[in-house]
Copies of this chain bind each other. A is one copy, B any other.
Amino acid sequence: MARGKGASRESETGTLGKVMALLELVTHSDGPMRFTDILALSSQPRGTLHRQLVHLVEEGLLEFDADGRYVPGLRLLDLASRSWARNEFRLITEPYLKDLQQMSGETVHLGVLRGTSIIYLDKIEGRQSVRMYSQIGNASPVYCTGVGKAALSVLPDDAVEPLARNLSFNRFTPHTLGSADALLQELKTIRETGVALDREEHELGIRCVAAAVWTVDGSFTGGVSITGPAYRLTLERLEEWTTPIKQAAQSIMDAIRIRLGPRG
C-alpha cells in the first residue's frame, strides 16, 4: 500500500524478493562466488542464506559448480529466450531495424527503459554478427546511451526530474554527462532536434544517433539507435542519419498503434 514516489528501495516482495536479490547478486558478480563471498555481501545469517541458495540451485536458477562455487543457472537462458522471442514490441520493430541497418551499414539497436537502465531488446549488426547475446539483454545506464537519453526526452517532466536526481553518474569516459543538471540540459536539446547523440559518452571510440519510440500509455518507452566506431560515424554522418532514424521511429510508432489499437 505504501508505495512511495521512489525514494528508498522498499517493498521487498516477501520471500521472492529476497531470493531474487540473491540471484541478482550472484548473477551480477564478476565470476563464480563461494558461499562465504555471498555471505559477506548478503547480510543474512548463514543458515538462511544456505537454504536460499539450495533452493535457487534446485530450481536451476543458480548452479553449484564442481569447485563448490555458485554460478548463474541455465534455466535463465530458457526462460529468457522465450521472453525475447515473444516480445511484442520487438516483433513489430524488427523489420524497421533491418531497414535502418541496411541503410546505414552499421549496428542498429532497440532499447527499452526499465527503471534507470536501458535494456537492449534487439540488435542487428552489419556483416558477421557473431556476438549477439553479449548485447541483447544488457542493461546500460540511461544517461550515457543514445537510446537512454532519447527515451528520457519523451517522459513527462514530473517523471524525468526525480529519475535524473536519483541517478549516480559514473564517468565512463571524459565525455560522459556528470550531473543531473547536465542531463536535463541535454534533454532540452534532444526534444528540439528529435534525436539523441552519444558522443563517446559510454565507450571511447563509439558514437551513436538515437530516436525515441514510445506509447502514450507508457507501456513502452525506449528508442532505436545506429551505433558505430567514431572514425566512421563522423558528425556529418550522424547528421545525415537524423532524418531516417526519426522516420523509422515514427513508422514504428505507427505500426505499434495499428497492432495494439488506440493504446499507442
Contact = CB atoms under 8 A, between A and B. Distances in A.
Interface of A: 11, 13-17, 19-20, 23-24, 27-28, 31, 55-56, 58-61, 65-67, 71-88, 98, 112, 114, 119, 121, 124, 127-130, 132-139, 215, 217, 219, 260, 263
B15 A16 contact: yes
Most chain B C-beta atoms within 10 Å of own C-beta, residue among A60, A134, A136, A260: A136
A66 B119 contact: no
Nearest to A74: B119
A19 B15 CA distance: 10
B76 A133 contact: no
A128 B130 contact: no
Contacts of A27: 79, 82-83
Given A66-B263, A72-B86, A133-B85, A119 B16 contact: no
A133 B84 contact: yes
B88 A71 contact: yes
Contacts of A14: 15, 55
Given A66-B215, A79-B80, 8 more contacts: A17-B58, A71-B87, A74-B114, A78-B137, A81-B135, A81-B138, A85-B134, A133-B133
A80 B73 CA distance: 9
Contacts of A15: 14-16
Contacts of A82: 27-28, 72, 137
A200 to B, nearest CB: 23
A16 B59 contact: yes
Contacts of A215: 66
Contacts of A124: 130
